[in-house]
Amino acid sequence: MQNPKAINSQILGIALPAIATNITVPLLGLCDTAIVGHLGSEAYIGAIAVGTMVFNIMYWLLGVIRMTTSALTAQSYGASDEPSMTAILQRSLTAAVILSVLIIIIQTPFLRLSLAIMSPSETVRAHATTYFRICVYAAPAVLAQYALCGAMLGRQNASYALYVALIQHVSNIAISLLLVFVFDMKIEGVALGTLIAQYIGLAAAVWLAKDILSLRDIRRNLNDTGQWSKMTGINIDLFLRTICMVAVTLFFTSAGARQSDTILALNSILMQFFMFFSYFTDGFAFAGEALCGKFWGAQDTAALNRTIVMLIFWGLLIALIFTAIYYLAGELIIGLLTNQSGIIVAAGPYLKYIVIVPLVSFAAFLWDGIMVGLTMTRQLLVTTIVAMLAFVVVYYLKPSADVNTTLWLAFLAYLAARGVIQTAIYVFQRR
C-alpha cells in the first residue's frame, strides 16, 4: 500500500517535468515571432500567427492519441502487463501514421477552410500558405511523438517529454536562425526549420524510448479488433470533447472580435493569464493521468483515493497562489504585456474575472487528468457538452449592458460547470 508521502513524491515527480515541458511551448513561439519580426514586414508575423493557429487546432484535436496511449499504458503498467503496454504502443504508432497520412492527403481543403474562417489579408494568406505547405509534412513526426510521449507518461516517466521538447526546440531555433539569416530564406526558412526540428525531435524520442520499442507479436496485436475497438472508442470520446472545447475557444475569440479591435486585443491578453495558469495545473493533470491509471490497473483503491485527494490539494494550492498573484500584480502584468494605454485602461473592469479564474477552473483541469487515467472518457464528453451549453445559456440569456462582461461570465460558467459536474459524476459512481 502506498503511503501519502510516497504518493506525493510520485505526483511531484511527474507534475514538475510536465510543467517545465508546457512552459517551453510559448517560449518557442516567441522565438519564431522574434525571427520573422526582423524580416521587414508585419505580414510575416501575421502569417506565423495564422499558420501556428491552424496547426494548434489540428494537433490539439489529435492530441487524443497521447491521452489514450497514456491512460491505457498506465493501467497496464499498474497491472505489470508488459505485453499489453507493447501492444498499446504498436497500435498507437500505427494510428499516428494513418492519421498523419490522412492529414497530408486532405491538406488543401483543410487549409482553405481554415483561411476562410480566419480571413487574413491576401499577403498574410500567401505567406501562411507557404508556411503550412512545408510544415504539414511534419505531421508523422508530431503524431508519432504523441504516441511515444503517451507511452512514457503511462510508464510514469514525464521527464522523457521534457528532454524531447528541449532537443526539438533548441534545434528549431538554431536551424531557423541559420536558414533565415544566413541563407536568406525568410518564412520558408522558419517553416523548414520547424519541419527539420520535428524530425530531430522524433529521432530523439525514438532513441530515448528504444528500450520499450518492440516488434514482438506485432501482427497479432494489430489484428486484435477488440483492442482496436476499445482504443477507437476512447479516441472518439476525447476527440468530440476536444471539438467542444475548441468551439468554446473560437466562439470566445470571435465574440470579442465582433465587439471591437480593442476588446479582441484585450481578451487575447487576459487569456494569457488563464493559459499561464493552465501550464502549471496541467502538470498535475498529467500526474493524474499517469498515477490514477496505474493505481486503477493495480486495483489499489486506497492509493487511488489518496492520489485524488492530494491532487486536489495541489490544485487548490496552485489556484490560491495564482489568485494572489493576479490580485496583487494584475495591472503590472498587463503593463508588461502591452504598452497600449487604451487596452490597459479597458482591462480594469475585467481584472476581477482573471483573479477568480484559477479558483473556478482548477478542478476541471484535475478531473480531466484523473478521468482520462481511469478512461472515463464518455463521462468527460458528456460533462464538456453540458458545460458548453452552460456557456451558451449564460451568454445569450444573462442580461448585461456590457457584452464583454457577459462573455467572461459565460466562460467562467463553462469552467465551473466542468469541475462541478465531474466531481459529482465521480462521487456518484464511486458509491
| pLDDT band at residue 123 under the 50/70/90 scheme | confident
Q: What is the mean pLDDT of residues 24-38?
A: 73
Residue 16 in contact with residue 161, Cβ under 8 Å? no
Whole-angstrom distance, CA of residue 305 vs CA of residue 297? 14
Residue 197 CB partners (closer than 8 Å, separation 6+): 168, 169, 171, 172, 175, 176
Q: What is the mean pLDDT of residues 265-278?
A: 86
Exposure string for 391-427, b = 16+ CB within 10 A, e = fewer: beebbeeeeeeeebebbbbbbbbbbbbbbbbbbebbe
Q: Kindly state the DSSP code that residue 359 receives in the 8-state scheme.
A: H
Whole-angstrom distance, CA of residue 110 vs CA of residue 54? 9
pLDDT at 345: 84
Span 202-214, pLDDT tens digits: 999 999 999 999 9
Q: What sign for the dihedral angle of Cα 313, 314, 320, 321?
A: positive
Q: If you search the block for the grid coordinates 492529414, which residue do you land on?
A: 103
Q: H or E element: which one contains 27?
A: helix 4-36
Query: HSE (CB half, 13 Å, CA atoms) of 176?
Result: 28
Query: HSE (CB half, 13 Å, CA atoms) of 57?
Result: 20
Q: What share of the chain is helix, strand, coil (3-state, %, to 5)?
A: 90, 0, 10
CB neighbours (10 Å) of residue 167?
18
- The better pLDDT of the pair 254, 88 is held by 88
Whole-angstrom distance, CA of residue 182 vs CA of residue 231? 46
Whole-angstrom distance, CA of residue 159 vs CA of residue 161? 6
Q: What is the DSSP string of 268-313?
A: HHHHHHHHHHHHHHHHHHHHHHHHHHHHHHTT-HHHHHHHHHHHHH
| pLDDT band at residue 29 under the 50/70/90 scheme | low
Residue spans of alpha helices (H) in 106-224: 107-118, 122-135, 139-154, 159-177, 186-208, 218-222
Residue 110 in contact with residue 58, Cβ under 8 Å? yes
Span 188-204, pLDDT tens digits: 999 999 999 999 999 99
CB neighbours (10 Å) of residue 382?
16
Residue ranges covered by each domain of the chain: 1-11+224-431, 37-222
Residue 158 in contact with residue 15, Cβ under 8 Å? yes
pLDDT at 91: 98
Q: What is the DSSP string of 188-210?
A: HHHHHHHHHHHHHHHHHHHHHTG
pLDDT at 296: 97
Q: Is 81 helix (H, G, I), strand (E, B) or coil?
A: coil
Residue among 152, 153, 156 nearest 207 (CA) = 152
Whole-angstrom distance, CA of residue 48 vs CA of residue 55? 11
Span 351-396, pLDDT tens digits: 999 999 999 999 999 999 999 999 999 999 999 999 999 999 999 9
Q: What is the mean pLDDT of residues 399-407?
A: 82
Residue 366 in contact with residue 283, Cβ under 8 Å? no
Which pairs count as long-range contacts for 269-272, CB under 8 Å and 24+ apart, including other chains?
A: 269/334, 269/337, 269/338, 269/343, 269/347, 270/347, 270/350, 270/353, 270/354, 272/337
Supply angle C-alpha 29, 30, 36, rounded to 5: 90
Q: Kindly state the DSSP code that residue 39 receives in the 8-state scheme.
A: S
pLDDT at 249: 87
Q: How far is CA 58 from CA 38, 55, 131, 225, in A?
A: 28, 5, 15, 27
Predicted confidence (pLDDT) at residue 257 exceeds the cutoff of 90:
no
Predicted confidence (pLDDT) at residue 237 exceeds the cutoff of 90:
yes
Whole-angstrom distance, CA of residue 278 vs CA of residue 427? 24
Predicted confidence (pLDDT) at residue 399 exceeds the cutoff of 70:
no
Span 68-122, pLDDT tens digits: 999 999 999 999 999 999 999 999 999 999 999 999 999 999 999 988 887 788 8
> Which stretch of 97-106, 392-401, 402-411 has the lowest confidence by average pLDDT?
392-401
Span 213-223, pLDDT tens digits: 999 999 999 99
> Which stretch of 133-142, 314-323, 378-387, 422-431 has the lowest confidence by average pLDDT?
422-431
Q: What is the mean pLDDT of residues 21-31?
A: 77
pLDDT at 30: 64
